[in-house]
Every structure is written in structure tokens, then in C-alpha cells.
Amino acid sequence: MSILLFIEHSVEVAHGKASCKFSQTGYLRIADLISSFLLITMLFFISVSLLMGVVKNREKYLLPFMSLQIMDFLLCLFTLLGSYVELPAYLKFVSRSRSRANYFPSQEGMAYNQFIKMMIIFSIAFIAVLILKVYMFKCVWRCYRIIKYMNSAEETSSSKMLQKVVLPSYEEAMSLPPKTPEGNPAPPPYSEV
């Protein structure tokens, strides 16, 4: 999915469809194109790191994607809260300027009650998206914990394994010289009591 979005946005940016409308001057257009390509490539590499982390069982490759999810959630949450911070000032401004032309597209040709209903529907939809983002983060977090547990279990099991020593056969052991401590007499021979 990320590869398809990468290709789609690259084509849009290359054709100039995804650039800002006000940045038709040369310098701003070039800066807009470069920043768009950088953003797209960074998102692509973060998604690839997520896939590589899952495929190769490396939990550290999941961290960039998790931080991106956290930043995305916070940005969406601030957008939702910001709409309610700005809403009273917006409604007060619109009520004062009813006689003049209203240039705000969100309430054009809409009654006050309809606008409030639209804001409630927007809020419910936005909260549903936020809940979905939290669920997706929980899925990636669970995957991170499982991979980390598997890697730690492998490390502890490999460190606890004793090294196996290949013992010589009976003939080889009998042909070896007897081990007697230097300077000490040999132990007494075996005898039955």
C-alpha cells in the first residue's frame, strides 16, 4: 500500500497537481516540490522499516513507524480540539457579518442548526478515526512486544546452553597417558573391602 501511495504522490507532485495554489512563483514551487518529495520518501522508508522489522524480527525497526503513529494521532487530536477552540469565534464572526458576503465555505447556504449538526457529525467521524488510530497503534505495539519477547527468549536460551564437549572413545581414553598430579603420588589402586 505504501509503495502505491509513494508512486501516486510522486506522479502528482511531478505533474504539479499536489502543490499549493499560491506557490506559483519559481522559488516557492521548487521548495514545495522538494519538500513534498522528501516527505513522501521519508514516509516510504518508515513503512519499509516497519515491514523489515516484522519480517526479520527486529523490534528496533518498528520504532520509527510507532513514533510516526504517535505524532499522527497527536496532530489529529489537536486538529479536533482546535476546531472547537476556533468554533465560537468563527460563529460570532459569521453572525456579525450576515449582511455582508460570507466567504467561509463551510457555512455557505447553511442554517445555524444545520451547521451545528454538521459539526457534531464531523466530530463523531473524527473521534471514530482517532479510535481507529489508537487501535492500529495498539496492534503495532503488540507486534513490537511479541518480537521483543521472542528475541529476549532466544538470547536467554542461547546464553544458558552449556557447551558440549566431545568425549574420546574408550580406546582413545585408554591410550592417553594417566593424569597424575606433578610431585604427588598416584592414588591407591582400587581394592574391594
Least confident range of 27-31, 75-79, 158-162: 158-162
Q: Which of 80, 174, 63, 60 is nearest to 125 (CA)?
A: 80
What the block records as the C-alpha cell of 119 is 459539526
What the block records as the C-alpha cell of 123 is 466530530
Beta-strand runs (E) in 66-146: none
Alpha-carbon distances, residue 157 vs 6, 147, 148 (angstroms): 41, 15, 14
The Cα–Cα gap between 141 and 53 comes to 12
Sorted by where each begins, the domain ranges of the chain are: 1-56, 59-154
The Cα–Cα gap between 83 and 154 comes to 49
Considering the entire predicted model, what is its pTM?
0.58
- Encode pLDDT of 39-69 as tens digits: 888 888 998 999 999 999 899 999 999 999 9
Burial label for 182, CB within 10 Å (0-12, 13-18, 19+), is exposed
- Residue 105's pLDDT band (cuts 50, 70, 90): very low
The Cα–Cα gap between 5 and 36 comes to 13
